[in-house]
Amino acid sequence: MPAPQRPASQAANALASPALANIIALAGIATPLAAWAIKAPDIKNVLLAAETAIVLVLASSHIWLRRRYITLRRAHNLKSMDDAHYYELVRAHVEREITQNYEEIANGHMRVYASDVPRLSVMLVKTVVEAQSEPQRILAADLTTNPALLTRRREYLTANRQMIESGGQINRLFIAWRDDLAREEYARDLLALINQHRQIGVTAGLAIRDRLRPEEAVDYIVFAAAAALVEEEQGDADYNNGRSTVYFQGVERWTERFEGVWGHGAHCATMTLQTYENLTRPMIDADAWDADRVTQTIDAA
């Protein structure tokens, strides 16, 4: 069910309605005609003043609408299309999709599906730098069920590197299941992924998913204090599936959630990762994996 509109939105929609514009336009035509027809000077002056007010209202309304709404050009000659009816149906369908998207973003959020998620992620990173939003920082929490999947997001990683090179900071929290961390193949992929991020300047941390509350084990990215991209349905390897929402309001709660999981001191995410790495990297290098020892270390971290 769509959310009820706020009074301000209802008022804005009323002001932008074609019916109101038509009424004002008719009044603008009728007023000078009445002024010319009436002989009484006092009434004529009142009508001319009203006409001036109507012109000012129309001009102000035009400026306001141009600032608030996007104007899209339509084909002026449907007969030039080979199949005018077919073209009109396609145009109406595309226009409806565009309108729906802009209604969402006008209300402070935007839903994104499938392969558009990586593209939008790149745009959001670049816009943090372009807008010089403060703080110049990105906080990313990854539900790392498949570390190898994350290594394939080359454009996103490139945008991350460019942001860090421009003076920004990125903290990335890898959230992993305890049993996955005890598997050698998973550990190899995870450590390779961490190396990839560190090479571009990302600060990495690790959180054990088994210890987190459901609302903490979420895939999301906080861009400065401006936006939060929350992944509601995780994408597959090719991002044929996946659904996310960008929120431009209430970003602070996502920042607080990240900082709460990241933590401070001896049990913060960076220390947990360091403990895990200190044990597992030598095991992998020596080809001497010990799952029981890894599990004990995770439990003690």
Q: What is the pLDDT of residue 11?
A: 52
Q: Tell whether the torsion through CA atoms of 257, 271, 234 and 126 is positive or negative.
A: positive
Confidence of residue 292 (pLDDT cuts 50, 70, 90): very high
Q: What is the pLDDT of residue 213?
A: 95
Is the pLDDT at 19 greater than 70, yes or no?
Answer: no
What is the C-alpha to C-alpha distance for residues 89 and 149, in angstroms, rounded to an integer? 39
Is the pLDDT at 4 greater than 50, yes or no?
Answer: no
What is the C-alpha to C-alpha distance for residues 238 and 114, in angstroms, rounded to an integer? 9
CA distances from 80 to 74, 77, 92, 204 (A): 13, 6, 17, 58
What is the C-alpha to C-alpha distance for residues 161 and 154, in angstroms, rounded to an integer? 10
What is the C-alpha to C-alpha distance for residues 219 and 254, in angstroms, rounded to an integer? 11
pTM of the model: 0.72
Q: What is the pLDDT of residue 198?
A: 95
Confidence of residue 95 (pLDDT cuts 50, 70, 90): confident
